[in-house]
Amino acid sequence: DAGVIQSPRHEVTEMGQEVTLRCKPISGHNSLFWYRQTMMRGLELLIYFNNNVPIDDSGMPEDRFSAKMPNASFSTLKIQPSEPRDSAVYFCASVERGNNEQFFGPGTRLTVL
Amino acid sequence: QQPVQSPQAVILREGEDAVINCSSSKALYSVHWYRQKHGEAPVFLMILLKGGEQKGHDKISASFNEKKQQSSLYLTASQLSYSGTYFCGTGPPGGYQKVTFGTGTKLQVIP
């Protein structure tokens, strides 16, 4: 199994630009989580999906952030417009139905200049 | 609310033991433990679902004290490969779905 796949691995953009992060969960997993990790705030849950449906987006910082999961094998996290304080590592994780172990992707390191 | 971990950082020599604590101000239903090596993604270690439960594999084990709203991770006879940041996470009844992670404990094992 390839594990959770995220792209891009690194993204450098300028303030005001739109950024789209992508995630492919492990096949057969029905829950997907988006996290943001910074030194100051640690590992924060932004949003999670169950069976492609958003269940809890209370961690999404602002309206500038949006996430979609159009099908079981793909999810996006979009930031529009991006700001320097959005700089962080963004992780996607997936979980198999009935299980507890979260499998994390390698992360996307986002730098907003 | 984010669980609190202690200590924030610890340095061990190979073969020494360590304990990492995780405390919550709210009732604990489940405790998840993950390890993240530098520049890598977090990796699942174990989950405890019941008060009084203890688990372990290799020389890493954990306990869950429901009444005290805390969990402890025990690393015995530490190896260089144990280096990394350890996160505890608290979850709802049943364990899965939304997990709130602590700020982490950075562990460094030196020869």
Tens of pLDDT along A54-102? 999 999 988 999 999 999 999 999 999 999 999 999 999 999 988 888 9
Task: Please judge whether A45 and B99 are an interchain contact, meaning their C-beta atoms are less than 8 angstroms apart.
Answer: yes
Q: What is the pLDDT at residue B8?
A: 95
**How many other CB atoms sit within 10 Å of the CB of residue A40?**
7
Q: Which two tokens stand for residue A52?
A: 């492609």
Start-end of H helices in A1-113 = none
Q: What is the pLDDT at residue B97?
A: 73
What SS3 class is residue B82?
Answer: helix
Please report, in tens digits, the pLDDT of each residue of chain B (111 residues total). Answer: 789 999 999 999 999 999 999 999 888 888 999 999 999 999 999 988 876 666 677 789 999 888 888 999 999 999 999 999 999 999 877 655 788 999 899 999 999
Q: Which of B65, B72, B76 is nearest to B21 (CA)?
A: B72
Q: What is the pLDDT at residue B52?
A: 66
Considering only alpha carbons, which residue of chain A is nearest residue B46? A101
Q: What is the pLDDT at residue B43?
A: 95
Task: Please judge whether B95 and A101 are an interchain contact, meaning their C-beta atoms are less than 8 angstroms apart.
Answer: no
**For A13-65, how does the pLDDT look when each residue is reduced to its tens digit (9 = 90+)?**
999 999 999 999 999 999 999 999 999 889 999 999 999 999 999 999 889 99
Task: Please judge whether A42 and B98 are an interchain contact, meaning their C-beta atoms are less than 8 angstroms apart.
Answer: no
Q: What is the pLDDT at residue B27?
A: 84
